[in-house]
Structure 1
Amino acid sequence: MASILALYPGQGSQSPLMATDLYQASKKVRDLFQLAGEIAGRNLYALVSEGSEDDLKPTQASQFVITLANRSAQIRLEETGHTFVGHSGFSLGELSAYAGAGILDDTTLFTIVKRRSELMDEEARKAQQRYGELGMAAVIGLGFAAVNTILEEARLPGLYASNDNGPQQVVLSGLTESMLKAKDLLTEAGARRVIPLKVSGPFHTPFMQEATTGFRAFLDSLSFCDPTSLVLSSVDGSPIKDGEDAKDHLARQLAQPVRWTSVLGEVAALVQQTGAQVAEVGYGNVLCGLCKNSKLDISCIALGQETAIQTFGKEIRQ
């Protein structure tokens, strides 16, 4: 079977019915839903099978169901005989990467998801009460350095470039009022579109800084293992050396930008070295799109649904 270099999506990839096909196909996945639901204190299968997009949007819902979909897809790929040469996750998806590489067991994984989502939601609420309406938006057509320069020159309060997704895509995070003012400036500078995202807080910005200390203290109370395979952090694209390094990157991640362009540079080099198949292991194909638009030699396939996993397996066996 194939050797896979797994990329796990993060917040914003949630969708009704996600991972329900994997749930039906695998007892291990059903057991995972049961475990995650006990930690979350709610029926997560009912949430994804019956819930609307609005039901899945809140941070404490989306982070659980996205992580569930990511881990469920990896479980199904392992059950069908595939192996993994490396892992990386976009923001929240980094937790799934750590689980895939053996740094976290699933109980620890979802315990972290619970606390992380609570802290981020709490910090976002505080910021909104203090500063006004907050959110995130994707800027299509400009790179990270260009967007940073525009924001610095405009001196718009409470607005940051929070995700370096690729040479032509950056995510803004912060005050909605400043974001609306920035839209015209970004368009004038060459941005083709500025698109609001399905995320409920100003993540990966200084608005989250107060949550970092508490989150790190929480992580220090948990047991992390050293990785059994390669993990690239979305904080800076570097490989995770050990469990302590993993804790450090997870805590820093809350208030620092996602540097996905750096991750993809490392992924392209690994593909050349190993010949591994790059796959988005989780619901949707956002990360495959970022690979395609990266201008790097990366061929990514989406392996987050049962039909795709079965089709991929058949193609490999031929």
Structure 2
Amino acid sequence: MSVAVVFSGQGNQHPAMLPWLGDDASMATLGSRLGVPDWRAALADPAWARMNAHAQVLITTTGLAAWSQIASRLMSASIAIDGVAGYSVGELAACAAAGVIDAEDAMKFAAQRATFMDEASRSLAGGLCGVTGIAAADVEAVLLGTSVSIAIRNGDDSVVIGGPLGGDALDAVEAALAARGARCTRLAVSVASHTPLMRSAAQAFGNALSTAGLRAPTLPLFDSDANRVWTADQARAGLAHQIDHTVRWDEVMDQLAARGPSCVLEIGGGQALARLWQQRHPSIPARSADEFRTLDGVLAWIERSAP
């Protein structure tokens, strides 16, 4: 019996997420990190929730707190971890889960990452848009000659595009794609993550990571280019690289599927990654920890998923 674990990215956090999540040392400091007395109440304000400085720290902290509680139960039940990966900022939590960095450092890096990305967007505001119902190759054809690029590849007909805001950039590309029959959904993020607009942020984050005491992973870890991470240097390079380069999540899912897990568990708010997995690899069950009311429910589902 085994499970692959994927950590959610930004955009699906909500006040009722992970209802079974208990308090631990990291959760006890989350309010002070974010400057609010109650993080769940704060998430009820959409403007507050979408700010990088809030979202990236919250996603990393809650993801790692949930992982800490799940991991001990998996060990007790002799359930193996087939692989770990993280979607966008979720890669920080994945690295911590795999032993590359401590949880405290992951939360610190999440705050730095958000700051660098916000600074990069001050000179040119950007955004992201999910595009489905049209082949990725057709999306690329529309993007030729524009300042918009593919930020994330989720599937053969599912991508996220990113670029500058305004009528002559992201808005114009959305209109062109919609005219071709695509469904376009603007995401609740305030920067064009994983695009060249974030180049200065990637460089700054790389510099911050260069002096960090990272370690080789103790679990099978995959970066956003779908590469198996074997060393601390590879993890360091991957965390910086993904900020201004396309996340190849479709290939990450393929790499995890090739390892033959009994099931896949998403950790974070919402069920976006579980749904993407079900679309691409329906023979391997996937659910999000956010769907369960109790931790016992999470573990019982994993145990039932064994062939």
Aligned to 1:34: 28
CA contact (8 A) 2:121 2:197 kept: yes
- Residues 67-216 of structure 1: matches in 2 within 5 Å? 67-82=60-75, 83=79, 84-128=81-125, 134-152=126-144, 155-156=145-146, 158-176=147-165, 177=167, 178-191=169-182, 193-216=183-206
CA contact (8 A) 1:278 1:301 kept: yes
- Residues 289-304 of structure 1: matches in 2 within 5 Å? 289-294=275-280, 297-304=283-290
Question: What's the secondary structure of 1:62's corresponding residue?
Answer: helix
> Deviations 1:1-39 (Å, cap 9, x if unpaired)?
x5321011101122123345403xxxxx4311134555x
> Deviations 1:101-159 (Å, cap 9, x if unpaired)?
1001111111111111110111112222xxxxx2111111123332112211xx23x21
CA-based RMSD of the aligned residues comes to: 2.1
Q: Does 1:5 align with 2:8?
A: no
Q: Does 1:284 align with 2:270?
A: yes
| Structure 1 pair 317–227 and aligned structure 2 pair: CA distance change class (3 A) | closer
| Structure 1 pair 208–317 and aligned structure 2 pair: CA distance change class (3 A) | closer
Aligned to 1:59: 52
Q: Which one is further off, 115-124 or 75-84?
A: 75-84
Equivalents in 1 of 2:174, 2:302: separation in Å?
Answer: 45
Q: Which one is further off, 95-104 or 63-72?
A: 63-72
The Cα shift of 1:315 comes to 4.8
Q: Does 1:49 align with 2:69?
A: no
Equivalents in 2 of 1:308, 1:150: separation in Å?
Answer: 45
Equivalent of residue 217 in structure 1, options 191, 198, 207: 207
| Structure 1 pair 305–222 and aligned structure 2 pair: CA distance change class (3 A) | farther
Question: What's the secondary structure of 1:91's corresponding residue?
Answer: coil
Question: What's the secondary structure of 2:38's corresponding residue?
Answer: helix
CA contact (8 A) 1:17 1:50 kept: no
Equivalents in 1 of 2:151, 2:181: separation in Å?
Answer: 19
Query: What percent of counterpart residues are identical?
Result: 26
> Deviations 1:56-112 (Å, cap 9, x if unpaired)?
110000001111221122122123335423100001011111011100111111111
Amino acid at match of 1:204: H
Equivalents in 1 of 2:19, 2:281: separation in Å?
Answer: 34
Question: What's the secondary structure of 2:290's corresponding residue?
Answer: coil
The Cα shift of 1:41 comes to 5.8
CA contact (8 A) 2:34 2:54 kept: no
Question: What's the secondary structure of 2:258's corresponding residue?
Answer: helix
The Cα shift of 1:308 comes to 5.1
| Structure 1 pair 308–165 and aligned structure 2 pair: CA distance change class (3 A) | farther
Gaps of 5+ in 2: none
The Cα shift of 1:317 comes to 6.1
| Structure 1 pair 304–73 and aligned structure 2 pair: CA distance change class (3 A) | farther
Question: What's the secondary structure of 1:304's corresponding residue?
Answer: helix
Amino acid at match of 1:229: L
Equivalents in 2 of 1:222, 1:48: separation in Å?
Answer: 31
Gaps of 5+ in 1: 24-28, 129-133
Question: What's the secondary structure of 1:262's corresponding residue?
Answer: helix
Q: TM-score normalised to the size of structure 2?
A: 0.89
Aligned to 1:258: 247
- Residues 242-253 of structure 1: matches in 2 within 5 Å? 242-253=231-242
Q: Which one is further off, 202-211 or 302-311?
A: 302-311
